[in-house]
Structure 1
């Protein structure tokens, strides 16, 4: 079973590939606390592309990402890599 740390590291690798050509301060490295919008400069279209990449990379299809992206009927302001990893863990444990 994948631990939260394993999932986080796999997400970091995916995000490093995803953002390799972007102009952001990647020198500090990514961690569970790295936020998609504030730290990496994601826009809404990037988040959609990332969810598709996560589904493909983790082989999780029809994952209800709306539960991650929305709280109380509103879109969340930002997401950290750790939050995404915690969201994915039950889906990965069920396999």
Structure 2
């Protein structure tokens, strides 16, 4: 596995998202970047979140990453997650 830095992680996360939404009819999304909001911009619901987590696990060849730390806070579902937060989470957790 090659060395991953924040930029390369972001490229991979954006590629996963582009793959996921390729067939969706999203008129408002021109470009995915660090500020793109998963729930707001893509209308992600629990099923899409699970699909995204599985795709990221495959992309980074890691299982059992603690995604609950990203998507839940104090037992509540977090509904405002940006691409940069996913990238930061992965940057912190894939090197463990």
TM-score, with length taken from structure 1 = 0.90
Distance 1:23 1:44 in 2: 19
Q: How does 1:1-95 map to 2 (within 5 A)?
A: 1-25=3-27, 28-94=30-96
| 1:52-86: CA deviation from partner (whole Å, max 9, x where unpaired) | 11101111111111111111121112211110010
Distance 1:14 1:77 in 2: 19
* Unaligned ranges ≥5, structure 2: none
* Unaligned ranges ≥5, structure 1: none
CA RMSD of aligned residues (A): 1.4
| 1:17-57: CA deviation from partner (whole Å, max 9, x where unpaired) | 11100011365210011011111121111001110111011
Distance 2:29 2:57 in 1: 27
Structure number with greater CO (CA < 8 Å, separation at least 6) is 1
The 4+ residue runs of structure 1 with deviation greater than 6 A are none
